[in-house]
């Protein structure tokens, strides 16, 4: 049996959450490229990012094996603050991997930590 190419029509969205994690979500793949339904076959997804519109090189964020979303952290992925990032994903069904989804463009937030407050010199008192 030959592997059919998959149709991957994903819609990716970046959403900020209060714990500084980001979430990508997309529509489930339900058919192969020839229109045949995937049926009950398990569909997994690989999610990637790149700083290049050409999507080369790709850095893998990870897989989504139970659903159509993937959480990531900007710092853990070493995404440069203020840079434009391009996300894509691929579906995997029965070992066959799809082409890349159309890229989602996102600008990494320029969050910087606050400066320390109440900065002072500490001197231990001498006991007599």
pLDDT at residue 6, as a whole number: 47
What number of other Cβ atoms are within 10 A of residue 99's Cβ?
13
The DSSP 8-state label assigned to residue 113 in this structure reads P
pLDDT at residue 20, as a whole number: 65
Instruction: Give domain status of residue 70, yes or no.
Output: yes
Question: Taking the chain (128 residues) in consecutive chunks of 10 residues, what is each chunk's mean pLDDT?
Answer: 44 48 90 93 96 96 92 90 94 94 91 73 74
pLDDT at residue 123, as a whole number: 77
Q: Which residues does residue 44 pair with via DSSP β-bridges, in sequence order?
A: 92
pLDDT at residue 113, as a whole number: 66
Host domain of residue 35: 13-107
Q: Which two tokens stand for residue 49?
A: 């990012």
In total, how many domains does the chain have? Answer: 1
Instruction: Give domain status of residue 4, yes or no.
Output: no
pLDDT at residue 85, as a whole number: 95
33 neighbors 6 (Cβ within 8 angstroms):
yes
Instruction: Give domain status of residue 79, yes or no.
Output: yes
What is the domain-level CATH number for residue 50? Answer: 2.60.40.10
Instruction: Give domain status of residue 2, yes or no.
Output: no
Instruction: Give domain status of residue 116, yes or no.
Output: no
pLDDT at residue 30, as a whole number: 93
Instruction: Give domain status of residue 123, yes or no.
Output: no
Instruction: Give domain status of residue 46, yes or no.
Output: yes
């Amino acid at each position: 049996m030959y592997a059919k190419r998959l149709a991957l029509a994903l819609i990716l969205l970046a959403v900020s959450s209060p714990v500084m994690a980001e979430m990508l979500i997309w529509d489930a793949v339900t058919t192969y490229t020839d229109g045949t339904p995937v049926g009950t076959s398990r569909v997994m997804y690989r999610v990637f990012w790149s700083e290049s519109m050409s999507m080369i090189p790709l850095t893998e964020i990870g897989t989504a094996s139970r659903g159509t979303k993937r959480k990531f952290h900007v710092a853990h992925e070493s995404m440069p603050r203020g840079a434009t990032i391009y996300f894509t994903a691929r579906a995997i069904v029965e070992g066959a991997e799809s082409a890349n989804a159309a890229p989602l463009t996102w600008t990494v937030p320029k969050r910087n930590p606050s400066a320390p407050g109440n900065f002072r010199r500490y001197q231990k008192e001498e006991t007599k």
